[in-house]
Structure 1
Amino acid sequence: MRIDDLSVLLRPRSGWEAVELGFALTRRHARVVWLSWLATTLPVFAVLNAAAWWLDLMWLPPLLLWWLKPAFERAPLYVLSRGVFGAAPGMRETLRGQFHFARSIWPWLLWLRLSPSRALLMPVDLLEGVSGPLRRARRQALARNASGTAALVLLVCANVEAVLAFGLIGLALTLTPIEFMEPAAQALWETLFEAPPLWAQLLLNLIFWIGASLIAPFYVGAGFALYLNRRTQIEAWDIELGFRRLVARITGHGQPPLALLAPLLLLLSLSLAAPPQAQAQAQAQAQAQAQAQARDEAAADAPQVEEAFDDTEPSLRTRPEAPTRYDHVGPGGSSDVKPEGGDRLRQVFAHEYREGTDDFVTQAAEVYEQDALSPVSTQTIWVPREKPEARRQPPRTEIGWLHSLGRGLAFVMENILWLLAAALLVLLIATHRRWLPVLGVQIERRHGPRQRHEDAAQAPEPLPENLLEAAQALWAQGQRRAALALLYAGGVERVAEATGEPLPPGSTEADCLRRARRLGAQGFGGVFPRIVQRWQSAAYADRLPSEAEFDALVDAWRRSENAAVGSASA
């Protein structure tokens, strides 16, 4: 695999940025991805439904197709893994490539089928081809910071598949007129779920297959992009690719100052940019000025609004009204209808006030009997002779398969809960020495030295006694990097012995050079910088020294040893 051929921009991304990258890759290679998916799933769908029709088990094909999803996801993964390097395969090449994945797919169809990180970890088995402890270590390293995102992507894609499937079922209701909606929904439910005929069961299987076919390639693309992102973070692909491009640009043009032009321009732009605090302060001042201006405009508009209300007619102004009291007048009239507070009315109206006559009372009663003031309607309804309690309830239709499915899910969930309870109990017992002291329970500590468990990593191999002869032998065998590495390791050990202080773990080349300066430039202190320079050129720039330069390093080492022996004997 050559990362130079990658058609995507390598940079560390967040989990959801990587998911979006996977969706974009799937859209770019959509034709080959979906054609390969149809070529692998459609024949299996037809065979499974034919066998289920013959066995009268039409509920079985969706379950088997769901279980075989990892096998079907090999084709989109093959297309994306080649297409990301700019070599998108054709249909024939994709179908032939499925045979290379046949052996590695079995774990994902058996004990790893329910893994929530399937899309993230399946490329380790299918693309890298590792096995044993190395494969287990690779899975753990990749899933360390991306398993949560992979599980959420699986959950989202599963829900979208279900929404698409039920949306296709509900599409029939959207085409039904509103007055026929209720009987159409009842007929649809009875046809598809209560007593479905053969064609309805086949239609349901087809709908669920369509939903899976639309979403599954996007799920594979998201998992593959998460896999690429984790490898970029772990193996620093972006940094390595940047160094390669930098070396190629410098060696190709032979003008190192031009290589520094872009960083200088970047530093200049950063120096001219406003500080973040100043930008934030300027934004806050702008917002405050905008709010003050809005308040001033609102205050200026308020008098105009009041004047507009004052110009309205008095009859249109809002004023509280006194509660109105209506006196009931029966059909036969009422002779005792008299306004309350007659004396007050006489005081207000003086000589204009007159008592109501019988004709007025009769006319008022007729007015109140009009439909506009006393709306009364007669409605005739049919009342059943039998009492509502005695009516027979319609027989309820039993959905046998739905009850069986519910009982099965209840059984599975009950056992899962029991397993979780058992795992929690085991965890509490295993960690009782940590949480019991919190509750105030004293635990007797074990006496004696604690056994030290060594890490899986082995200690570094000791250097050979004749280090220079061993390095020359490796050089003669063509292992030039190994020879330089041996010289560098021997030089570090010699610097530590000569100074009398061991170097701390994780020391860099610069730390070793600073320690070697104590030896002086005449002895080994002048040879070690040359060894470090040759080693860095070989390790980081892939520039190996010539045979004459290597022999010169070995001779300088020997001369420094002889000089050290001579000074010690003197």
Structure 2
Amino acid sequence: MRLEDITVALRPRQPWESVDLGCAMVRRDYGSIIGLWACTVVPLWIVVCVVLRSSPEWIPLVVWWLKPLYDRVPLFFLSRAAFGVRPGFIETWKEWPRLWLSNCLPALLWRRLSFIRSFALPAQMLEGLRGSAVNRRIKTLAMDGGGSGVSLSYAFSKIELVVWIGLMLGTYGMLPESAQPDWDGLMSAFDVENAVPAGFLWWGAACHMVVVSLIEPFYVGAGFALYLNCRTRIEGWDVELAFRRMAARLTSAATALVIAVLTLFGLQPSAFAAEGKDPDKVVKEVLERPEFEIHKIQTKEWVPEFKTPDNIDSPPHLSAFGAIGELLFWVLIIGLVVWLVIYLVNNSHLFTSRGASKTAVKAPKVLMGMNITRESLPDDIVAAARAAWAAGDFKEALSLLYRGSLSWLVNRRRVPIIDSDTEEDCLVHVMQAGEKIEADYFRLLTGAWVQVAYASLPASNDEMGRLLDQWPFIEKGGEA
């Protein structure tokens, strides 16, 4: 590529002018870029989805982590379009393996979390540097445009997040009911595994891929424009291009003839030659002009100087302060240790599993107006509940199961339920107790009990049958 063929107006710009230029370059050929994106990036996403089909919650993370590979396709197109050459599908497909394999491991490992990723990508891909040469080149460019690259990455990350959330909120109503999460269960018991269906996770991953496809080319284009602006400022590309175009205009035959004539006349002896100045003095005067001033960037590194104890002359009273400070330090450490021991002793029930704690609070006898003592329950709770259900007393049947489960949980399992807790509070305590079978059963039972107690909606026969058949507690609750 020749610098004279560039189609971008090269001049030193402000950083956000360069960002706007990069976005304009992407808008000009957005259709072609998206077409190449679909042919090269989407197949990789299909492979990712197939590999992670059993764990769709990891797909957005993997798609995000592989972004450095996607960015190379828009950069390949923009770097050639800037010089008037727009690569097609065949040319891009031929370059595809080289684009993705070049510097692949560094881009996905130690350079993945770089905050100037789109700004540094042209230096890695277009200048043909390797190893430490790439690091030195990026460091040199970052001295002029690194701050703008960081701001660009921050801004586009926030834009991508907002658009992703907005797209999910805007299309949430289109999801079937089976794919919508159980927000009540998710918020009250943090039961992510059961409350978030796989359909919701696949939908979130698809929305993320759409957002990345729409926004990522603009991020790459803005970083490429920052790179061009940085090289223009450092290397004077605009001045070099102006001189090259001027030289091209001065190579015509007429200009050459005029130069030849002037040269012949210049060879004649001049009366003023004797009065000429010393050439060395003239050169020195010219080089001292402001336009020939050499600008250098100097960096200073501060290195602390540590004095040895022999070089320090401390007054005597400072030694006393040092001793007092050391004493206070050890008093503080001992106090923290004593406080930690007292805290662990008083809260030992928080660190015991299952029902082994013997210091649990006194089990309540009445919860939500219901008597849950062992004496108030029948010997065979399941049989009594089944008989009440058969007799049409649906509320009494669920009441027996609910009271029996609460009695067993507070007396046998030692779940820290107090007499002022509500149904939701009890469910949270049971979910936190750590027994999955009992927690799952109690969650279903609580839902059925709340419906019949407050909405007079009895459970279905199938649901009641499961509650009776899957009863996980011993009879009557209490001690075994």
Q: TM-score, normalised by structure 1?
A: 0.42
The structure that has the greater radius of gyration is 1
Q: TM-score, normalised by structure 2?
A: 0.50
Q: Higher relative contact order by CA 8 Å / sep ≥ 6: 1 or 2?
A: 2
